[in-house]
Amino acid sequence: MLVGCSLNNAFAFCPSRHTSYMEAGNHTEESQFLLLGLSEHPDLQPLLFGAFLSVYLVTVLGNLLIILAVSSDPHLHTPMYFFLSNLSFVDICFVSTTVPKVLVNLQAQSKDISYTGCLTQVYFFMIFAVMDGFLLTVMAYDRFVAICHPLHYMVIMNPHLCGLLVLMSWFIIFLVALVHILLLRRLTFCIGTKIPHFFCELAQMIMVACSDTLVNKIFLFVATALLGVFPLTGILLSYSRIALSLMRMSSAGGKYKAFSTCGSHLSAVSLYYGTSLGVYLSSDGTHSPQRSSAASVMYTVVTPMLNPFIYSLRNKDVKGALGRLLGRGAPCP
């Protein structure tokens, strides 16, 4: 007899005696989950494949061009563009964590993902998702120092501090993600458990587990509060100080120049936290899993694709560097 094991509308069932299930510490490559994806309609699969492939190629190419432009142009060897190149690298890794597996499953018309592959995807997805938020926070602090303390900018934002901020962010995120994975390995999952998403996401994994998940939920809540609320608070504090500084400026030209340096970053912050909020609001029990998955596409796929356009179209320095970079590769007449 099968006993329901799902939590909060999970789709799997846990066995009472004879049906196979996966216990912590006893997983094999044959143990698999089923990713339900965005749609099960056969006619939509080619369209989804083309859309995901196009967005993935544009994302990788756009962010790679930003990295090459920053590294090749001496005028962009400043703290702001150092953080921007790091953001582009993280965005490439971010989409590469989920989209290639989606493309493989769509092409093979399969929904399978191994237990090891699922945990690996959860681990790296957490790392790059949170690192995006950390880098946006550091970039907000960089803009605060540049506008509010311009005479001391290069002294405060020295290469040592910039490197230390990035390394500390990586260290904290690696540690928190590792704890999540260790807690996840304690849980029991049924073989063939269905995950109502197009990738393995931590909250969904906890939801479909067959064993007690109280510790996982508590740590997830605490980690989300610390790694989500604190960075957002830092961004809001930085821009509140920037706004006060701009109000004290008498020159309209100075105000415009200061605001123009923050415009791209504000757009990226609004996109990142706006789509994150959309995913959170669509993940409650009143919405279907397909709607939650569709909302996640904006956060996990579309946002990394748009960041290069945001920082290049509104930034003369980046546009100039990209023009010089692409001009080098063009053949001479």
Q: Domain spans of the chain?
A: 41-319
Residue of higher predicted confidence among 56 and 328: 56
Report the interhelical angle of 115-148 vs 159-185 (nearest 10°): 150
Please give the mean pLDDT across all residues of the chain.
82
Is residue 287's pLDDT more than 90? no
Q: In the numeric block, which tokens belong to residue 154?
A: 């290069």
Whole-number CA gyration radius for the chain: 22
**Residue indicated by tokens 């596409």:** 297
Q: What are phi and psi of 133, to 5 degrees?
A: -65, -40
User: Cβ-count burial of 130 within 10 angstroms (0-12 exposed, 13-18 middle, 19+ buried)?
Assistant: buried
pLDDT at 284: 56
Provide the pLDDT for residue 166.
Answer: 96
Question: For residue 262, what pLDDT band results from cuts at 50, 70 and 90?
Answer: confident
- Per CATH, the number for 41-319 is 1.20.1070.10
Sign of the alpha-carbon dihedral angle for 46, 48, 49, 50: positive
Give the CA angle between residues 199, 50, 91 to the nearest 5°. 50
Each residue's pLDDT tens digit, 145-157 = 998 898 999 999 9
Contact status, residue 329 vs residue 83, Cβ threshold 8 Å: no
List, for residues 79-94, the tens digit of each pLDDT value. Answer: 999 999 999 999 999 9
Three-state SS for 113?
strand
Closest CA to 91 of 307, 298, 267, 266: 307
Q: Identify the band that residue 171 occupies on the pLDDT scale cut at 50, 70 and 90.
A: very high
In angstroms, the CA 176 to CA 168 distance is: 12
How many Å from the N-terminal Cα to the C-terminal Cα in the chain? Answer: 77
Enter the DSSP assignment of 195.
E
How many Å apart are CA 149 and CA 326, to the nearest integer?
A: 35
89 HSE (CA, 13 A, CB side):
16
Q: Which two tokens stand for residue 202?
A: 């931590």
What's the pLDDT tens digit per position in 184-211?
Answer: 999 988 877 888 888 898 988 898 888 8
275 in Cβ contact with 298 (< 8 Å):
yes
Q: Check: CB of residue 16 under 8 Å from CB of residue 217.
A: no
When mean pLDDT is compared across 56-65, 207-216, 236-245, 262-271, the lowest value belongs to 262-271
Portion of the chain with pLDDT greater than 90, in percent: 41
pLDDT score for 70: 92
Which tens digit of pLDDT belongs to each residue from 15-69? 443 444 555 444 444 467 888 877 777 778 889 899 999 999 999 999 999 999 9
User: So what's the pLDDT on residue 264?
Assistant: 82
- The angle at the Cα of 221, spanning 13 to 6, to the nearest 5 degrees, equals 5
**Whether residue 10 has pLDDT greater than 70:** no
